[in-house]
Amino acid sequence: MPFTANRTFKSDPLMISGARGNHYILADGREVLDVSAGLWCVNAGHGRREITDAIRSQAETLDFVANFSHGAAPAFELANRLALLAPGDLNHVFFTNSGSEAVDTALKIALACHAARGEGQRQRFVGRQMAYHGVGFGGLSVAGLGGNRKAFGPLLPGVSHLPHTLDHARNACSKGQPEHGIEMADALEAIVAMNDASTIAAVIVEPVAGAGGVLPPPQGYLERLREICDRHGLLLIFDEVITGFGRLGTTFASEYFGVQPDMITCAKGLTNAAVPMGAVIVSDAVHDTILNAATGPGPELAHGYTYSGHPLAAAAGLATLDIHRDDDLNGKARALAPLLEAGVHALADHPVVKDVRNLGVLAAVQMHPREGAPGARSTELRHHCLAEGALIRAGADTVLISPPLTFGADEVTQVIEAMKKGLDRL
Ligand code: PMP
């Protein structure tokens, strides 16, 4: 099983047999709150009839076409919808089947773009410590979670990492974006000075680092990264696999922060996770550079997946975007965010708690590690919360909270009560 303690799972398997709305139904019939929206992805809640109907009807009309040299309407319709929703001149879409593939695709597009401009020597990438960018060799190389990398060799050459932005001394238990730390972006200048801008293709960051423990960017940090990238001709990629489709109350985080990247990677909430799909949304400039430089009849970008733009995924995506619009999921997220913020910060004074972080409908409660057993507390807290009817995601000594955007006030209260009881037991 992926990222699972397999031996522990075998000894005590948690099996899920159904899902509706904001709940999972466990194999023993109990209903529990899904505090992770699947895995940061079921933003509209489970079992949405509109999505199921769209998938069924698409399967009956055209089950599959490989978008290699011929196409089908659903993927083009979805690309057009995404181009309208994406900020500024991010108007072109390449479909993948996952966030990992979206990240690797974006890195390759960055290289192809520079090569098309006659700057093929720009091959280095800059990522960030504690980042998660999926598990492909590209994404793993720019990501910064040591535990995920250590068994897999040297990875891509020529990757530098910005420092992560977690600063317990200055920012512990900040609400929203921390006040201190804008200067951490200046590490990019140091990386440029060390390697020369002419060797660097792109910088990739999650606007809010998710799997690393929900790290909202310090105030002004993303703006400064954008300035430095502009100064040196580096492409800026926002990995919005988690933040895309409403988590911060805007369709994309770049809109929330007012910072426009050259590419956005997304997945998860794009189809409400009903069918796997990812996408890279690129600017006119990146797209035109690659297409205009091409000579001859061959493909401009020698890249793609058998299932790129799969009709069932595209149909699910279109139905999901309809729900986003018709149910105003962004507005729901904006209403939910302050409730979640108040809830998690009410736990900040608990003696077991070290830090509480949140932005939009994303939050993390980090605990002091138990001596001799780092990581144990979050698994125990998860266990206690499950007994109280809330299925929560545990990672290291942190629990991660990212419910469907359809969560109600009572459900937030139930989760916080469960966590409070669990923390008391710890
Ligand atoms: N990027 C980010 C920011 C993610 O959070 C994730 C998944 N959690 C990925 C990429 C990888 O997505 P997938 O698991 O669909 O490959």
Per residue in 78-104, pLDDT tens? 999 999 999 999 999 999 999 999 999
Residue with CA closest to ligand 1 atom 6? 134
**Given a cut of 90, is residue 294 above it in pLDDT?**
no
Q: What is the DSSP string of 39-64?
A: HHT-TT-B--HHHHHHHHHHHHH---
The CB of 357 under 6 Å from ligand 1? The reply is no
For the chain, give the mean pLDDT.
97
Closest ligand 1 atom to the C-alpha of 103? 10
Order the strands of the 398-401 sheet from edge to edge: 353-359, 362-367, 398-401, 393-395
Residue 30 binned pLDDT confidence (cut-offs 50, 70, 90): very high
Exposure string (b/e) for 398-411, b if CB count within 10 Å is 16 or more?
bbbbbbbbbbeeeb
Residue 413 binned pLDDT confidence (cut-offs 50, 70, 90): very high
**Mean pLDDT across 283-311:** 96
Q: Does domain 51-326 have CATH number 3.30.390.50?
A: no
The CB of 241 under 6 Å from ligand 1? The reply is yes
Residue 163 binned pLDDT confidence (cut-offs 50, 70, 90): very high
The CB of 240 under 6 Å from ligand 1? The reply is no
8-12, 44-48, 229-233, 252-256: least confidently modelled range? 8-12
Q: What was the pLDDT predicted at 23?
A: 98
Which of 220, 233, 204 is CA-nearest to residue 143?
A: 204
Give the torsion sign (CA, 222, 224, 225, 226). positive
Residue 239 binned pLDDT confidence (cut-offs 50, 70, 90): very high
The CB of 99 under 6 Å from ligand 1? The reply is yes
| Domain residue ranges of the chain, discontinuous segments joined by + | 6-48+328-425, 51-326
Our CA angle for 282, 124, 83, nearest 5°, is: 5
6-48+328-425 matches 51-326 in fold: no
For residue 264, report the distance from its CA to the centre of ligand 1, in Å.
13
For residue 134, report the distance from its CA to the centre of ligand 1, in Å.
5
The percentage of residues in the chain with a pLDDT greater than 90, rounded to a whole number, is 97
Per residue in 335-369, pLDDT tens? 999 999 999 999 999 999 999 999 999 999 999 99
Instruction: Write down the pTM of the prediction.
Output: 0.98
For residue 92, report the distance from its CA to the centre of ligand 1, in Å.
21
CATH of domain 6-48+328-425: 3.90.1150.10
**Given a cut of 90, is residue 250 above it in pLDDT?**
yes
State both tokens at 45. 């809640």
Our CA angle for 381, 44, 66, nearest 5°, is: 110
Angstrom distance (rounded) from CA 90 to CA 262: 7
For residue 240, report the distance from its CA to the centre of ligand 1, in Å.
9
